[in-house]
Amino acid sequence: MAPTKIEDGVVVSLVYKLTVDGDILDQSSADDPLQYLHGADNIIPGLEKALTGLAVGDNKQVVVEPLDAYGDYDPDDVEDVERSLFPPEVELEEGLVLAMRDESGNQFEATVIEVDDEYVALDFNHPLAGETLTFDVKVIDLRDPTVDELAHGHPHAPGMNVH
Ligand code: ZN
CATH at residue 80: 2.40.10.330
Q: What pLDDT, on the 0 to 100 scale, is given for residue 90? A: 86
How far is the centre of ligand 1, averaged over its atoms, from the C-alpha of 85 (Å)?
35
Query: Does 159 fall in a domain?
Result: no
In terms of domains, do 18 and 89 share one?
no
Nearest-angstrom CA–CA distance, 10 and 163: 21
- 16 occurs within a structural domain: yes
Examine the domain organization and report whether 16 and 61 are in the same domain. yes
Output the pLDDT for position 52: 98
Residues 118 and 133 placed together within one structural domain of the fold: no
Mean pLDDT rounded to a whole number for the chain: 93
| pLDDT attached to residue 102 | 83
If one counts the domains in the chain, the total is 2
Report the pLDDT value the prediction gives residue 163, as an integer from 0 to 100: 64
Domain encompassing residue 93: 75-123
- Report every protein residue that has its C-beta within 5 angstroms of ion ligand 1: 152
Compute, in angstroms, the gap from residue 46 CA to the centroid of ligand 1: 23
Judge whether 102 lies within some domain. yes
Rg (CA), the chain: 19
User: How far is residue 43's CA from residue 14's CA, in Å, rounded to a whole number?
Assistant: 12
* Greatest extent of the chain over all pairs of C-alpha atoms, in Å: 63
Indicate the Cα dihedral angle 121, 125, 126, 129, nearest 10°: -130
Give the pLDDT of residue 161. Answer: 59
For residue 20, report the phi and psi dihedrals to the nearest 5 degrees. -130, 120
Please state, in angstroms and rounded to a whole number, the distance separating the CA atoms of residues 8 and 13: 14
At residue 150, the pLDDT reads: 94
Which residues of the chain carry a pLDDT beneath 70? 159-163
